[in-house]
Structure 1
Amino acid sequence: MNTNSSASKAQVVIAGAGPTGLMLAAELRLGGVDVVVVERRASGTVGESRAPGINARSVEILTQRGLGEEFQRLGKTLPGVLFSGIPMAPQDLDPGWPAAMILPQHQTERILTTRAVELGARFEWSTSVVDLRQDEHGVEVSVDGPSGPGTIRADYLVGADGGHSAVRRLCDIAFPGDDPVSWWVVGDVQLDSPPDGRGVFGRNEHIGTYQISRAEPGWFRLSMMRATPPADRAAPVTLDELREVMRDGLGTDYGLSGARWMSRFSDGFRQITDYRHGRVFLAGDAGHTHSPIGGQGLNLGIQDAVNLGWKLAAVLNHGAPEALLDTYHQERHPIAAAVLQLTKAQTALIKPGAQNDALRTVVTDMLAVPETCLHLSGILSGLDLRYPLGDTHPLLGRRMPNLTLPLKESATTIFDLLRPARPLLINLGTEALTAVPAAWSDRVDYIETHIPASDWNMPVFGEIPPCEAIFIRPDGYVAWVNPAGTPLSPDALTATLEQWVGTSADAITV
């Protein structure tokens, strides 16, 4: 589908149809937002593994939106968590620990594109963003596509167009960080004589840690450090370069005969200082780039999208305060900064050298300590993320686990209730709450249930003090708690609803 024309309108324009842009498009459509996705490619990713790692929190998010079953059917569940290739097994310490998975990126994009189209997102393929102008009322996006130059007038623009973001460049946004000093090649390749017939994960003194693993039938995923920098860092990777790198590092190319995708990455790390620039937002790699060691890039992007999507929808269509959009930067920028730091450490550990070998031995021993394993697994999996929403209860700012909730005649789950991407108020036994306050009844879902005492010992968090009521944002994070044994405060609930949903002239009576 291509809707390019000389001039058109939308509430939100998304530049980029990678996983971040696609997830954002679906989230916006769930909120009733008219959205156009502009993508310079003629189609999505075809037959490329690219970013295949989907961490446990992203799996949860996809499940919240009803996509988990298809991802689980197509993907491969991971038995643990890797820190620079060093395995950790948090499930052995906490049996309820949610699992991550591996799925080639072209499959992820196909699923997300299908969902966005089903929900009514419009797409302009083979179309590039060439200029933009914004004012207090909106942003005018100049594009060039199959029908020639055109403009799209929108309330907001989101740049989800990758590490070489045109939106970031057009806004003249600084992108500070560390220049690369080391380079790796990566690709989906065909091997006539693969090691052990299936692949190999190893380490040597020439190139440090390397990986050759099965991606899909007939294809191997290759990731390997170059012993020397590439002559031309901007030139496309070739089969000859892959053969050279493999022979230099391993002494053989294992009969490399073809590739469907080849690329290179480095240990450069960059992050913009502000994710919002007026009516323009940046998400995913457009706002932060780093080594893919640890598999964090796709997951940061998906979680950026889910954080931003419901907020834009709430402001545009549901009466939320415009200041709500500032919380996108406030919440997501520190998360990416912390991930970049941890990714730097993991990238250093895969490099060759006797000192790094010794450090890996020490780190491996440290990761065997249960507390260290659970702490780092929580960060890498995204499960331990906590937004700064208060410290009066351990659940505030944290994701709400997918608990089963008993009803009068059946049962449901937290994630099923979050599927429409609407705020959720759960009454767990307080008589002071009988419904969503009238001023917000059309914008917030409500349920009365209870959580069995044993379920308050939650995976990742440990034992949590019971609650009598919980308010959960559309992205699945807890924004308000009424602890058990504490009288419900109508003022506190009102302030929470005004902050995250919007204000109303109507009086509130709880």
Structure 2
Amino acid sequence: MVKETDVLIVGAGPSGLALAVDLARRGVRALVAEKAQGLFPGSRGKGLQPRTMEVFHDLGVIDAVLAAGGRAPMGLIWKDGERTGAYDMFDRAEPTDAEPYGEPWLLPQWRTQEVLLARLRELGGDVAFGQEVTAIAQDAEGVTAHFAEGGAVRARYAVAADGGRSTVRTALGIGMEGEGVDPAPMLVADVRIPDLDRDNWHMFAGGDAGYLAICPLPGTDDFQLVAQFTAGSPDTSAEGVRALVATRTHLAADQVSEVRRASDFRPRAALAARFRDGRIFLAGDAAHIHSPAGGQGLNTSVQDAFNLGWKLGQVLRHGAPEALLDSYEAERRPIAADMLGLSTRIHRGESRRGSATRQLGLGYRGGPLASGAAGALAAGDRAPDGRCPDGTRFFDAFRGPHFTLLAVGTDAELPQELPDVVRVLRTEPYEAYGKGLFLVRPDGYIGWAGQDTRGLGDSLVRVTRC
């Protein structure tokens, strides 16, 4: 039996699920194939950056994310069983009209994936668990993938969102270019320690042995433990994790009431040589592998999906030229490279978790879809939030599979006929934009800007029906 679908998504991690949600609301059929029997159970990628929060607003899951997570607590430094100081892990920023999510939000990765899966099912989609892709091939018309359990699927396009050891990327022969970030292996574990306060992110300097940090996970009874090993290999057994806590902190081994999950890894930074091979795309960890420092990996992965989703939707449902899909690699690979460098510098203590980690300044100026400038912004910039005089929030007007032609503080004449996928919104002058016309893409970036409509038609041709 050969199933048929528009898009095959290999992997049900954050990038795969975010892409599936975006495609589902666009009416694009997608099959999400996940080789595991369920969602990833660990807390690994626990920090959501403000730009990802904006993506989740657009995908319709922000209320669930806010309800389930919480602010990152202050860092508390311990030495010899005594509290010796405190510091903030992040440069915090208050929310504003233009940037409504000011600082990172803590949410265990497993909970983020649960929220996305619930939204996918709400939209009529689902994940095929226990379906391992073992072979994949493509031709001029589509992609055929075979499963270990038997059977195959035929899709117009496929997306490898199957992690750092991507089977699909390997099958395509796409190499990863990178380096080891730190020669010391690390351990990450989800633990329960009832006697430890949950108001702080606990830091223990390990001296020559390496550091250990214990962070409370909002909405759960768990902590995430991260430890560096300058010598030897991590013992990921429950007994090994308890012994580690007893050795490097003032806590006794039996105060760790439960070790729910533990694994080890070596921090590295790697970037795929390309993000596209014909009809197959790479997204998330399959395309870039980060050190966990600074919380850039999961966030960059979700934003990969958000960039690719609307482009697949335009080609498959709205007759846009297939050349639009070329812009995915052109836009996302440079961003991933920059974020890899940032993660590595933070891991090595060369940079602080500052404004760059929030990812609100990322954009596509000079990219293949960016044209023009007006007011305070240029094409390729992130489109700020704001409010119209009637109280309409910009982000709510942008939400969905459409483009928005935003007229800010101008009476400039607009075309009498626009593609069905373009909506018009007029508002008063607004400092975050200045005055002008702005074509906001479905992923919340400005595709075109100008004081009048010259050039608008050419930009629309690149992203809508030929």
TM-score, reference length from structure 1: 0.81
What is the Cα deviation at residue 257 of structure 1? 3.9
User: Does the 8 A contact of 1:14 with 1:25 survive in 2?
Assistant: yes
User: Does the 8 A contact of 2:372 with 2:448 survive in 1?
Assistant: no
1:28 aligns with 23
Asked if 1:450 is matched to 2:418, the reply is no
What is the Cα deviation at residue 248 of structure 1? 5.1
What is the Cα deviation at residue 96 of structure 1? 6.5
**Counterpart among 402, 409, 415 of residue 422 in structure 1:** 402
What is the Cα deviation at residue 80 of structure 1? 9.3
Q: Report the count of equivalent residues.
A: 444
1:398 aligns with 381
2:170 aligns with 169
Distance of aligned partners of 1:194 and 1:428 in 2 relative to their CA distance in 1, 3 Å threshold: closer
User: Does the 8 A contact of 1:200 with 1:212 survive in 2?
Assistant: yes
| 2:405 alignment partner AA | L
2:32 aligns with 37
Secondary structure of residue in 2 paired with 1:176: strand
Matches within 5 A, 1:121-200: 121-145=125-149, 149-179=150-180, 181-191=183-193, 193-194=195-196, 200=202
What is the Cα deviation at residue 306 of structure 1? 0.2
1:222 aligns with 225
Distance of aligned partners of 1:228 and 1:79 in 2 relative to their CA distance in 1, 3 Å threshold: closer
Q: Find the aligned partners of 2:232 and 2:334 in 1 and give their Cα distance.
A: 32
Q: Find the aligned partners of 2:457 and 2:187 in 1 and give their Cα distance.
A: 54
User: Does the 8 A contact of 1:79 with 1:89 survive in 2?
Assistant: no
Secondary structure of residue in 2 paired with 1:181: coil
| 1:40 alignment partner AA | K
| 1:241 alignment partner AA | G
Matches within 5 A, 1:300-339: 300-339=300-339
Asked if 1:502 is matched to 2:455, the reply is no
1:478 aligns with 446
What is the Cα deviation at residue 391 of structure 1? 6.8
1:433 aligns with 413
| 1:140 alignment partner AA | T
Q: Find the aligned partners of 1:332 and 1:253 in 2 and give their Cα distance.
A: 46
User: Does the 8 A contact of 1:471 with 1:480 survive in 2?
Assistant: yes
User: Does the 8 A contact of 2:296 with 2:357 survive in 1?
Assistant: yes
User: Does the 8 A contact of 2:210 with 2:229 survive in 1?
Assistant: no
What is the Cα deviation at residue 93 of structure 1? 11
Q: Find the aligned partners of 1:441 and 1:80 in 2 and give their Cα distance.
A: 49
What is the Cα deviation at residue 213 of structure 1? 2.2
| 1:105 alignment partner AA | Q
Distance of aligned partners of 1:150 and 1:217 in 2 relative to their CA distance in 1, 3 Å threshold: closer
Gaps of at least 5 residues in structure 2 are: 76-86
User: Does the 8 A contact of 1:195 with 1:254 survive in 2?
Assistant: no
Cα deviation digits, residues 446-505 of structure 1 (max 9, x gap): 22x2234xx41x3xxxxx5x222110000000111123xxxx244x011110122233xx
Gaps of at least 5 residues in structure 1 are: 1-5, 350-358, 368-375, 459-463, 504-510
Secondary structure of residue in 1 paired with 2:274: coil
More helix by share: 1
Secondary structure of residue in 2 paired with 1:441: coil
User: Does the 8 A contact of 1:189 with 1:222 survive in 2?
Assistant: yes
1:238 aligns with 237
Q: Find the aligned partners of 2:372 and 2:261 in 1 and give their Cα distance.
A: 47
Q: Find the aligned partners of 2:199 and 2:120 in 1 and give their Cα distance.
A: 39
User: Does the 8 A contact of 1:206 with 1:249 survive in 2?
Assistant: no
Secondary structure of residue in 2 paired with 1:412: coil
Q: Find the aligned partners of 2:106 and 2:250 in 1 and give their Cα distance.
A: 29
Q: Find the aligned partners of 1:32 and 1:57 in 2 and give their Cα distance.
A: 25
Q: Find the aligned partners of 1:315 and 1:91 in 2 and give their Cα distance.
A: 38
Q: Find the aligned partners of 1:378 and 1:421 in 2 and give their Cα distance.
A: 29
**Counterpart among 48, 52, 61 of residue 55 in structure 2:** 61
Cα deviation digits, residues 99-131 of structure 1 (max 9, x gap): 221111222111111111222224311110010
Percent of aligned positions with the same letter in both sequences? 31
1:352 aligns with none
What is the Cα deviation at residue 78 of structure 1? 4.0
Q: Find the aligned partners of 1:347 and 1:267 in 2 and give their Cα distance.
A: 9
| 1:378 alignment partner AA | S
Cα deviation digits, residues 363-408 of structure 1 (max 9, x gap): 6xxx6xxxxxxxx7332001000212257453421111111112xx
What is the Cα deviation at residue 203 of structure 1? 2.7
User: Does the 8 A contact of 2:372 with 2:450 survive in 1?
Assistant: no
Q: Find the aligned partners of 1:382 and 1:193 in 2 and give their Cα distance.
A: 36
What is the Cα deviation at residue 66 of structure 1? 2.4
